[in-house]
Chain A
């Protein structure tokens, strides 16, 4: 497996293992944005700077799907990340669930990074499932 997102994934793993403090919800959201920006960069596209429903991550995801509808496979993961971030940031102070919600947010960001990392690694192969491209398509392997 390629060493994908060498800063993000180890940082999340270390926080989940309790080796370092858990990043804030907004930092985790920013990590998720960085993951999708990497996907766009691999396609040679700069982020268009838009937001969807007030969130850059959702706009980046929408941009990442253009021409690659299979990227929609992480649509709900991106929406979960935004939802979890809101639960933490807008939740009642002292409710006692913030730490748990932040952990779940971190795990969801980790899933996005693994998924996008996998897609980046497989994109050139044109093989199964969401990485698939018809073999007769121009430029396909």
Chain B
């Protein structure tokens, strides 16, 4: 039986064991709204995240779930209204001047659209070396920079000769490699990947995913990997966080979340995603959700998923759902969900 406690989805004790090292990234109760009055959009509502060094966290959700806003908060492009972000113990939003610049080096981003995220008027070498024009001491000297650009190009699988080409001369996959090389230019500890392969063709998508996982092994960089594609998230992530309308509704180790989802939304999401192999996930027992995601201007009371949930009852409208914690194996991370009526492990597909 799952134990039930109040709190939010990642606010649970870690598995018992030796001293847990402080996480690289810790997000607690981050809330972000836009606009005011009746046009108040709640993009993030008390989001918690935790990510260790060199780990990959998959962030799953549909449009309007707040994943892109969360990415912008993690990069310091948006300031949260409430809650804290701790990066290696420090709050990036309290930093100024040199300290802020030093922090910026450590968190970088790979964008979804490899066309719009590269300035078409700059060559590959200019694009990759652009961060050094602000962070002058990272790679000092023109010679050293040229050399480093070549290293980065080969790291992401491009050639030396590509340095002087412009973005329109590259294919989508190659552009995304430039984007990755640029994110690596400052030797970051964390790269936020916002749908990095969803604009790419399948055969190229696999190449880029390989580049990303290779870099993780060689450089020990951590990823927050945002995607709507469950098979990609399952392949690349150590842990998975599922978001719905600005809230984390389920969190756990990848196997736990995929094999034994607790939240009906997670289960529906997985059954809705088309798969090659009918036996792979969910089988033919497709869970059809009613309607579409409610507007983030007008979030339902109680459980925000209740308007589409096949298991919803009166209680779901009246009360915010409790945090359900399940521990699949002894030493594993807790697997949490926010739900009044979580799915049992064995009846996940009922």
A binds B: no
Interface residues of A (CB under 8 A from B): none
Interface residues of B (CB under 8 A from A): none
